[in-house]
Structure 1
Amino acid sequence: MTTSQPPAAADTEDREHYRMLIDGTWRDAADSRRFDSVNPFDGTHWADVPLAGEADVDAAVRAARAAFDNGTWPATTPARRAQLLRRLGDLITERADDLARVQVLENGKLIREVSGQTRALAGHCYFYAGVAETMHGHTLAGSVPDMHVFTVREPIGVVAAITPWNSPLALLLWKLCPALAAGNTMVIKPSEITPVSTLLLGELITEAGFPAGVVNIVTGEGATGAALARHPGVDKIAFTGSTAVGKTIAVTAAERLARVSLELGGKSPNIIFSDADLPNAVNGVLAGVFAATGQTCMAGSRVLVQQNIYDMFAAALVERTEQIKIGDPLDPDTEMGTVACQSQHTKVLDYIAIARDEGATLLAGGKRPEDPALAKGLFVEPTVFGDVTNDMRIAREEVFGPVAVLIPFTDEAHAVEIANDTPFGLAAGVWTTDVARAHRMVRRLRAGTVWVNNYRKTNYVAPFGGFRESGLGRENGMDAVNEYTEVKTAWIDLGNRITDPFNPRA
C-alpha cells in the first residue's frame, strides 16, 4: 500500500499534481481528466487533481464495501480503532502548519483562524478514540419473564462524506472521526474548490496505518458527488453544504432508504439587547459574520438590535467595520481575506445590489476594495446594511459572504418573533446581562445552537446541527455516534418453553 502521494510534479507554471486515494493506492482518474485548484488571493492555478467519473466512484465504493463486508474494519477491535485515531491526531499536530497553509491557498480563509482550527482537529481524533473504546448498548428491564434483553450499536456500513469548501478539514473530521470510531468505512468527496487539503489528510490517514479501503477519497465536481450519493453501495450520506443540494441528496437517498445526515444553510439571528455589553456585542457581530468572510453556515448575518440602542450600536459597528484590515490571508495581521471562488464572489456582489434595490441603507462597504494591491483577489469589503426589514431577500436568503443586515426590534417578544421568522434554524446569538432573559431566549429560539454573549464557538463534545431547513441529524459529541450506528436488540431465552405458538406473550 502506498502511504503518500507520488512526488509532486510541476509544469511550466510550477503547478503541483495530486492523485486520489482508492483502496490504499494513489490513482489518477480512469479517463485521466484533471481540474485546477485556484488561489482566490492572486488567481494562480497552483495545483491540479483528478476529475473522478462514475468508474472511479464505483471503484472507491467497492473498496469501502469490501473493507466493511469482509470484516477488515468493523471486526477490528475498538482498542485498535482508538489507537489509529490517536495516531492520526498526532500526525495532524505534526503537519498542522502544512494543512493550514494549503487550506488558505484553496479558499482564502485567514491563516490566523485556520492555524488554530487545524491544530484543534487532533482533539476530535482523541475524543472519538475514547468513544470507540467505550461505546455500549443497554440492558433492558423487559416485562417478559425469563428473558435477557439488551441492545448493541453496530456500524451502518459504507458512509459517503460530501464536504464543503469553507472549512474543508474541520467539517470532514466532524464526520470522519465518529464514523470510523463506530466501525464504518468511508468514501470522501471534498468540494472541487478545496480538494488538496483533503488529499493531504489522506496521506496522514494512510501513514497512521488505517487498512486499505477503509478511507477512500475521490475528487471532482458536482457530477462526482451526485454519482457517489446515488451509488447503491453507499449506506449513509453525510453532507454539509447548501439547503438546495441537501434536499436533492435527501430525495436521492430516500429512493433506496439510505441514511442521511445533512448540515445545511442558515440565516442566523444575532440579537443585541439594550442591557448588553455593547463593545463585546460589536466584537461578537464581527466574529459572527466577518471573521470568516461570512462564509460559514452559522454566520450571524441578521443582526437584531433593540430600538433604543439601534443608532448607537449601528454607529459603533460601522466604525469598527471600517477598520477591518483586508489583505493577504497568509499574513497573520490580516483580519479578513477573500471570498473562496469567482462564482461566490459574483453571488455576494449580486446580493449587495439586491439589498440596495430593496431599499436597505448601505452603512459600510458594499463593493470591491479600491486598493490596487488587492486587484487580483476575490475581495468584497465588509458590508453593513441598515433599515432592513425581515421580509427583504437580504434578510431571508443565505448570502454566504461578508454582509450584515441590521433589523430593529422593540422588546423580547418582538425579537423572538423576528428571529424565528425564517425557514432556517441553525444557530442564534443573544447578547444580554439579564440571566433570566438569557435562559428564556435559549428556550424560545428555534435553532440548533444558541450562544449567549459569544458567537461561533464549537467543540467536539457539543452537538451541532439545525432545525427545519438547516438540516437533519447532529454532528459532534456523543449524538454524532447515533448518526453512524444502527441499534440491534437481542432477546435471550433463559429457560422459557413455547407453549402457545400463536400467542407471543404466552
Structure 2
Amino acid sequence: MTDVPQRRSVAAHHLLNFIDGRWAPAASGRTRTNRNPADLRDHLGEFAESEGADTERAVAAAAAALPAWRALGPIRRAAHLTALGRELADHEAEFTEAITREQGKLRTEARAEVARARAVLEFTAGQARLLGGVTAPAEEDRTFAYTFRRPLGVVGLVSPWNFPLAIPVWKVAPALLSGCTAVLKPSPLTPLTAALLTDAARRAGVPDGVLNLVQGDAEAGAALVAHPQVAGVSFTGSLAVGTAIHTAGAPRLLRTQLELGGKNAVIVLADADLDRAVDAVVQGAFGQAGQRCSATSRAVVDRGVRDAFLERLVARVAALRVGPGDAPDSEVCPVVDPARMRAALDAVAGARRDGGTVLCGGGPVDRPGLPEGCYVQPTVIRDVPWDSELAQEEVFGPVLAVVDADGFDDALRIANSVKYGMSGTVFTASQARAFEAVERFEAGMLHVNRPGVGAYAHLPHVGAKASQYGPPECSPQVWDFYTAWHSACISY
C-alpha cells in the first residue's frame, strides 16, 4: 500500500451550505464524509448533511431574490455567466483537482469537463439576445399581438455525481439567464465541486439569494420537490428517483425536467470499419469507467464479423491500465464508491449465471502498490442473451455486453428492445443503412461511425422513452423548461 497522499486542505466554508450569500452548516449540525474513490483513506472533509429546514431557508432566499433578478433582464444577467466562465478558466486547476479527487475520473477527463462547462456558459450567455417571442397577426384592426417568455420562478436543480461540474452548470446557466432563482442540490458523493462552482458564481457577482447551495441526500431533495414555492425541478439521475420526483410533484402540477439514464447500444454491421468501431466502443464503454448516461453498454454485432471484432476489442481492453485519476499512466479510473463497485461486480456475476462468457476483466483490480479504492477491471462479456438482465438494465460501470445479431433489422430490434433510449450508434459503410438507422433508432442522441458519447453545448442533450421526461438540456429548447409562454393583444 502507498502512503496517503498529502493534499491541499479543503477550505472550511466549502464544507457548508451557501444560502442567501452566506456559508452556513446544516441546521442539525449533521455531516457526511467525502472520500476519494481512488484511495478510500483520503478524506476530503465532513460536508453538511442537510434536512428540510435547510431547504426551506434556501427556497425562501431564492424567492426573495426573484423580483430583482428577474427585473435585471437577460442581457445583464448574461454578463454574470460570462464572468463565471472566466472564473472557471482562472481556476481550472482547482476544479480539475476537485473533480479527480472526489469523483475519481482521470485528470484528462476532469479537464475536459471543465472545458465543457465553459462551453455551456459561453453558449448560454449568447442566448441572452435571442430569448424573446414572436409577433403574430391579429384578428381585429388596430391590434398588436405577440408572445413573450417569463421566468418560471424558483427552481430546484438536483445534479448527479458523474459530471459534478458540467451538469450543474448546464442547469444553473439557463436557470439564471432565464431570470429564475435556484437552489442547487448536488449529489452527496461530489459536494466539493458544487461548492467551488457556487463560490465562483459569488465571485462572478451573482447577487445573494439568486443561487443557493444545499448539500445532502434524499431528505434535502425531497423537501425541494414538496416546497410550494418551487415551480420546477430539473433532475439528472436514476429512473427510480426521477419517477419518484415526478410522482411527488404531480398533485401540485410541479414542472419537471428529468434525465434518467440509458442502456446504449453500438451496432456494428458486417460492412463496418472494425478498427474504427473498436476505438469508439473502448472510448464509450470504458472512458470514465462507464459512468455516463450515454456510455456504450452494449455492442450489438453482426455474427459475420463478431469474432474479428472481439479479437481486436479484447486485445485493446485487456491492455487498459486501471488506476488513480491523478496517475499519468492510468487509462481507466475507479468507479465512484464501494456501492457502485459492488453493483458492477454483481452485474458480471449475473451475466455469468445467464450464460455469458467473460472474455476479459470481471473482477476487482488487484495490483501491488495500488491504494485501497474502487477499482473494477474493464470487462467484456460475450454470448449475452438480448433479453437478459445485463443486456436490459443499466450498470453504470466498466462492463460491456456483446450481443449477437443476424443482420441489420435484427440489430435494430435488439438495440430498441430496452426501456431506455439515451444514445444510439451504428457503424456501417452504407449511407442508406446509416440514414435508416438514424430514422429507426429509439434514442434521443444518434451517432454514425463515431463514438456514442459526448455532445455539443448547443445541441439538445436528450433521451427517448424512459431516458427523458420534459424539455432537453444544453440547447435553445431548454427555455421550454425554465420559462413560461405568454401572449398579449394590445388594441390602439
| TM-score where L is the length of structure 1 | 0.93
Shift in Å, 1:100: 1.3
Q: Deviations over 1:26-73 (max 9, x none)?
A: 1111121111100111102221211111111100000001111xx221
Partner of 1:477: 475
Change (3 A) 1:17 1:395: same
Q: What is the SS of the residue equivalent to 1:367?
A: coil
The aligned amino acid for 2:399 is V
Name the counterpart of 1:59.
57
> Match for residue 5 of structure 1?
none
Identity %: 37
Aligned twin of 1:461: 458
Structure-1 residue corresponding to 2:73 = 77
What amino acid does structure 1 have at the position aligned with 2:488? A
**Aligned residue pair count:** 483
Alignment of 1:182-201 (within 5 A): 182-201=178-197
Q: After superposing the two structures, state which structure 1 stretch, 149-158 or 117-126, moved more.
A: 117-126
Match of 2:268 in 1: 272
Which residue of 1 is the match for residue 94 of structure 2?
A: 98
Residue 10 of structure 2 contacts residue 45 of structure 2 at CA under 8 Å; is this kept in 1? no
Partner of 1:39: 36
Partner in structure 2 of residue 307 of structure 1: 303
- Contact 1:189–1:218, Cα closer than 8 Å, also in 2: yes
- The equivalent of 1:126 in structure 2 is 122
Partners of 1:421 and 1:127 lie apart in 2 by: 35
Structure 1 residue 78: Cα displacement = 2.1
Q: Could you tell me which of 422, 440, 444 is aligned with 2:440?
A: 444
Q: What SS is found at the alignment partner of 1:464?
A: coil
Change (3 A) 1:178 1:11: closer
What CA distance in whole angstroms lies between the structure 1 residues aligned with 2:317 and 2:410?
Answer: 27
Q: 1:144 Cα deviation (Å)? A: 4.3
**Please, which moves more after superposition, 45-54 or 420-429?**
45-54
Query: Contact conserved, 2:14 with 2:196, CA < 8 A, in 1?
Result: no
Match of 2:3 in 1: none
Cα shift readout 1:308-331 (whole Å, capped 9, x = no counterpart): 000110111111000101111112
Distance 1:404 1:15 in 2: 41
Aligned to 1:489: 487
Q: Aligned pair 1:430/2:439, yes or no?
A: no
Mapped partners of 2:225, 2:90: distance in 1: 33
Distance 1:332 1:176 in 2: 32
Structure 1 Cα separation of the partners of residues 447 and 283 of structure 2: 12
The code of the aligned residue for 2:57 comes to A
The yes-or-no answer on 1:393 pairing with 2:389 is yes
Q: Of 105, 112, 124, which aligns to 2:108?
A: 112
Correspondence for 1:322: 318
1:384 aligned residue (362, 380, 385): 380
- Deviations 1:64-88, CA, capped at 9 Å, x for gaps: 01111xx221111222111111000
Give the Å deviation of 1:421. Answer: 0.8
* Letter of the 2:36 counterpart: N
- Which residue of structure 2 aligns with residue 413 of structure 1? 409
Matched, 1:217 2:213: yes
Whether the 8 Å CA contact 1:269–1:303 is kept in 2: the answer is yes
TM-score by length of 2: 0.95
Contact 1:41 1:338 in 2 (8 A): yes
SS at match of 1:58: helix
Is 1:15–1:46's contact at 8 Å kept on the other side of the alignment?
no
Larger Rg: 1
Matched-pair contact (CA < 8 Å) for 2:13–2:23: no
| Partner of residue 137 from structure 1, selected from 115, 118, 133 | 133
- Counterpart of 1:404 (choices 400, 407, 416) is 400
1:359 aligns with 2:355: yes
Q: CA 1:365–1:478 in 2, change beyond 3 Å: closer, same or farther?
A: same
Q: Distance in 1 between matches of 2:113 and 2:223?
A: 31
Q: What residue identity is the alignment partner of 1:169?
A: L
Alpha-carbon distance in structure 1 between the residues aligned to 2:43 and 2:138:
63
The equivalent of 2:249 in structure 1 is: 253
Q: Are 1:240 and 2:259 an aligned pair?
A: no
Structure 1 residues 185, 106: closer, same or farther in 2, change over 3 A? same
2:111 and 2:87 map into 1 onto residues whose CA distance is 15
In the alignment, residue 113 of structure 1 is paired with which amino acid?
A: E
Deviations 1:196-230 (A, max 9, x none): 10001111100000110000000001221112221
**Equivalent pair of 1:16/1:46 in contact (CA under 8 Å):** no
Contact 1:14 1:46 in 2 (8 A): no
Q: Is the 8 A contact 1:293 1:337 kept in 2?
A: yes
Q: CA offset at residue 15 of structure 1?
A: 9.2
Structure 2: distance between partners of 1:425 and 1:451: 13
Which amino acid in 2 is paired with 1:309? V
Contact 1:36–1:45, Cα closer than 8 Å, also in 2 = yes
Aligned counterparts of 1:78 and 1:17: Cα–Cα separation in 2? 29
Q: In the alignment, residue 471 of structure 1 is paired with which amino acid?
A: Q
Question: Could you say what secondary structure the match of 2:263 adopts?
Answer: coil
